[in-house]
A and B are shown apart, each in its own frame.
Chain A
Amino acid sequence: MEPTLRAGDWIVVSQLPRGPKVGEIVLVRDPRDPNRLMLKRVAAVADGSCTMLGDRPEESTDSRTFGPVPLPNVLGRAVFRYGPIGRIGWLWRAPFVT
């Protein structure tokens, strides 16, 4: 998910009172291993599942590898990075999302 997220970032995730929207970064359970949590960007939402993509499609392991993620596996939305100090900021607006 670089450059948006980097290893070691401290992220606040809020529960979703509604379904995920395209462009948001969400916390999901890996469909291959439910104990593994991932942060990926929502590329599409359809038929009760979510297609996830990383911000570097050429290197990302995402729905192209593990398929669409069922909506119950979407646990929340990444809203704010509170660490490290130099990278504090809101996450809901990625520069390329229109």
Chain B
Amino acid sequence: MFLTRLLKPTVTASAHCDLPCGVYDPEQARIEAESCYKIIEKYNASNDEQFKTRAIVIKEKQAELAKHHIDVLWSDYFKPEHVQKYPEITELCWKAAKQCSKVKGSLDLGEARTLLDMIDKIADVWTKAGGPQATRVQKAVAARA
């Protein structure tokens, strides 16, 4: 037992791979951010302490998910050639991820609105970079109608 503890590595390195599904869409982050926005609205309209406690817990979870989706877009979807062409994307993703943390710890509707606007700016770059065609499976005509 002592020997195992002694020999156990102290530094962890990653060698794992992502699943190659290749589907990336800022809409995932937006839906989580919309949840945060709506939850804050409901929190402010409620007088039920139990409901308000639940709202906080769920909002924090959704904000963390939004942050995860932004991180995945930034680190996995946007490639060096995108960054070269749209250099603003690094700062947009970085600031949006930080905004998720703000929303996580806040009940200010304005902070949630700011996050939605930031995600929309990321979505603009994603669209300009050919994201919809490159990463999404097109819907059947009947499903679109």
Contacts and interface: CB of A to CB of B under 8 A. Distances in A.
Interface string B8-29: 1101111111111000000000
Given A61-B76, A67-B80, A56 B17 contact: yes
Q: Output the residue of B13, B15, B75 with the most chain A CB within 10 A.
A: B15
Contacts of A10: 7-9
A85 to B, nearest CB: 11
Contacts of B19: 59
Interface in A72-98: 82-83
Contacts of A58: 20
Nearest to A54: B17
Chain B contact surface mostly:
loop
A37 B17 contact: no
Interface residues of A, number: 27
Contacts of B61: none
Contacts of A65: 75-76, 79
Interface in A1-17: 1-2, 5, 7, 10-11
A37 B14 contact: yes
Contacts of B20: 58-59
Contact of B15 (A33, A39, A64): A39
Contacts of B75: 32-33, 65-66
Nearest to B18: A61
Contacts of A33: 75
A67 B79 CA distance: 8
A31 B142 CA distance: 44
B12 A61 contact: no
Interface string A39-69: 1100000000000001010111100111100
Given A30-B14, A37-B11, 12 more contacts: A1-B15, A5-B15, A10-B8, A37-B12, A38-B13, A39-B15, A58-B20, A59-B17, A60-B17, A61-B17, A61-B76, A83-B7
Interface of A: 1-2, 5, 7, 10-11, 27, 30, 32-33, 36-40, 54, 56, 58-61, 64-67, 82-83
Interface of B: 7-9, 11-20, 74-76, 79-80
5 contacts: A39-B14, A39-B15, A58-B20, A61-B17, A65-B79
